[in-house]
Amino acid sequence: MGVYDLDGKIIQAADLIVHAGNVVVFTGAGVSTESGIPDFRSPGGIWTRFDPEDFTIQKFLSSPETRKKQWQILLEGGLFANAEPNRAHLAVAELEEIGKLKCVITQNVDNLHQKAGNSPEKVYELHGNMRWLKCMSCDARYPVGDVVERFRAKVEVPECERCQGILKPDVVFFGELLPELTLKNATAHATRCDLMIVIGSSLVVYPAAYMPMYAKEAGAKLVIINNMPTSFDDAADVVIHHSAGDVTERIMENVRRRL
Gyration radius of the chain over CA positions: 19
Residue 177, helix vs strand vs coil: coil
Catalytic residue from among 89, 127, 189, 241: 127
Tell me how far apart the alpha carbons of residues 95 and 170 are, in angstroms, rounded to a whole number.
27
**Residues paired with residue 103 on neighbouring β-strands, in sequence order:** 24
Is 89 a known active-site residue? no
β-pairing verdict for 23-27 and 195-199: parallel
Q: For residue 46, how far is the Cα from the chain centroid? A: 15
DSSP 107: S
Which amino acid appears at position 212 of this protein? Answer: P
Could you tell me how many helices (H) and strands (E) the chain has, helices first? 11, 9
- Is the CB of residue 82 less than 8 Å from the CB of residue 36? no
Tell me how far apart the alpha carbons of residues 42 and 47 are, in angstroms, rounded to a whole number.
8
Q: What residues are annotated to the active site?
A: 127
